[in-house]
């Protein structure tokens, strides 16, 4: 049902303002913009302890119907890319992910008065990192699939409708060597040098016998080293090296199953007594 009061949000105007607002490092300015635009449309949002921006519209006489949630996020990946116009095209960080979907959801939310049930706009602050906002948000939504509740997530999909997404795990491979003076490297064990075989092993993880098959909708899983850190002095053989890995998983893999499988793989392909793997302890 369309809102008759004429306070609908213009998605193109909002999108240009949003793309010109950096949110790769601090989502505060983007949060302020979103709240301001909602208030200008006569909608009062709330911000919870996890910095989620939430607004809800309820049917006047039939609030017991389904609860539909429009969800996306405020943060973008680094580095920030300034907004730039090319005719009718808008370029810049977030134009597609996630500020394009957010603009469309804002327009739909501001134009809709649900004839029954509830419509909620729920925008999280940290989807690109820890997703603590989503973890805090989900319990508060009181979702019930038997009631017909549903969540529509705004992400770039090539304008296709998707009913699933890859999972994400994060973990660290720790390589332990032995410190020595760099003038006598043979008296120690260089953890950075040993990391080369670990990187090779990571590259072959999904090609191992018994590895995950590609999912019919999501494709193949990926395992990507994203951070390498080792050594603390320029004249010493480093005793430790850590490699942070990003895992994009597909069913039926679980976090525990991935941790066990990668640990066993590294035992076979790298120096097992010097290499260990553990999932990152996260709040979500």
pLDDT in tens, 142-201: 899 999 999 999 998 888 888 888 999 999 999 999 999 999 999 999 999 999 999 999
SS3 state at 131: coil
Residue 138 belongs to some domain of the structure = yes
Handedness of CA 74, 77, 80, 84 (dihedral sign): negative
Catalytic residue among 16, 97, 126, 127: 127
Predicted local confidence at residue 283, as pLDDT:
62
- Report the percent of the chain where pLDDT is more than 70: 95
Domain identity same for 15 and 146: yes
Q: Helix 11-19 and helix 28-40: axis angle, to 10°?
A: 160
Total number of domains constituting the chain: 2
Residue 246 belongs to some domain of the structure = yes
Active site residue 242: no
pLDDT tens digit string along 11-30?
A: 999 999 999 999 999 999 99
pLDDT band at 4 (very low <50, low <70, confident <90, very high): very low
End-of-domain residue from the set 153, 188, 214: 153
Catalytic residue among 75, 97, 126, 253: 75
Predicted local confidence at residue 59, as pLDDT:
87
Active site residue 75: yes
Predicted local confidence at residue 2, as pLDDT:
52
* Residue span of the structural domain in which 254 resides: 167-279
pLDDT tens digit string along 249-276?
A: 999 999 999 999 999 999 999 877 899 9
pLDDT band at 119 (very low <50, low <70, confident <90, very high): very high
- Report the percent of the chain where pLDDT is more than 90: 83
Q: What is the pTM of this model?
A: 0.77
Domain identity same for 18 and 148: yes
pLDDT tens digit string along 30-61?
A: 999 999 999 999 999 999 999 999 999 998 76
Measured torsion, CA atoms of residues 213, 219, 221, 223, in degrees rounded to the nearest 10: 140
Other beta carbons less than 10 A from residue 130's beta carbon:
15
Q: Check which CATH number belongs to the domain holding 117 and give it.
A: 3.40.630.10
Cα distance between residue 134 and residue 123, in whole Å: 9
Residue 173 belongs to some domain of the structure = yes
* Residues 220, 250 contacting (CB under 8 angstroms): yes
Domain identity same for 33 and 148: yes
Q: Check which CATH number belongs to the domain holding 185 and give it.
A: 3.30.70.360
């Amino acid at each position: 049902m369309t809102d008759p009061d004429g306070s609908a949000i213009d998605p193109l105007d909002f999108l240009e303002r949003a793309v010109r607002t950096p949110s790769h490092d601090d989502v505060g300015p983007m949060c302020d913009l979103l709240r301001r635009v909602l208030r200008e449309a006569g909608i009062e949002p709330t911000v919870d302890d996890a910095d989620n921006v939430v607004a809800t519209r309820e049917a006047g006489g039939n609030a017991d119907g389904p609860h539909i949630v429009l969800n996306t996020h405020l943060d973008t990946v680094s580095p920030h890319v300034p907004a730039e116009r090319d005719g009718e095209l808008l370029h810049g960080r977030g134009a597609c992910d996630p500020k394009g979907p957010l603009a469309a959801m804002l327009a739909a939310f501001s134009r809709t008065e649900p004839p029954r049930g509830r419509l909620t706009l729920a925008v999280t602050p940290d989807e690109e990192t820890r997703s603590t906002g989503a973890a805090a948000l989900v319990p508060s939504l009181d979702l019930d699939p038997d009631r017909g509740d549903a969540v529509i997530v705004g992400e770039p999909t090539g304008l296709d409708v998707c009913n699933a997404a890859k999972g994400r795990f994060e973990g660290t491979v720790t390589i332990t060597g032995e410190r020595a003076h760099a003038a006598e490297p043979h008296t120690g064990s260089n953890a950075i040098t040993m990391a080369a075989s670990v990187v090779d092993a990571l590259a072959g993880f999904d090609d191992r016998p018994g590895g995950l098959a590609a999912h019919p909708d999501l494709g193949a899983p990926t395992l990507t080293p994203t951070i390498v850190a080792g050594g603390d002095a320029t004249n010493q053989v480093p005793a430790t090296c850590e490699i942070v890995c990003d895992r994009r998983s597909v069913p039926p893999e679980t976090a525990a199953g991935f941790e066990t499988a990668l640990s066993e793989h590294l035992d076979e392909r790298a120096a097992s007594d010097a290499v260990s793997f553990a999932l990152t302890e996260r709040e979500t």
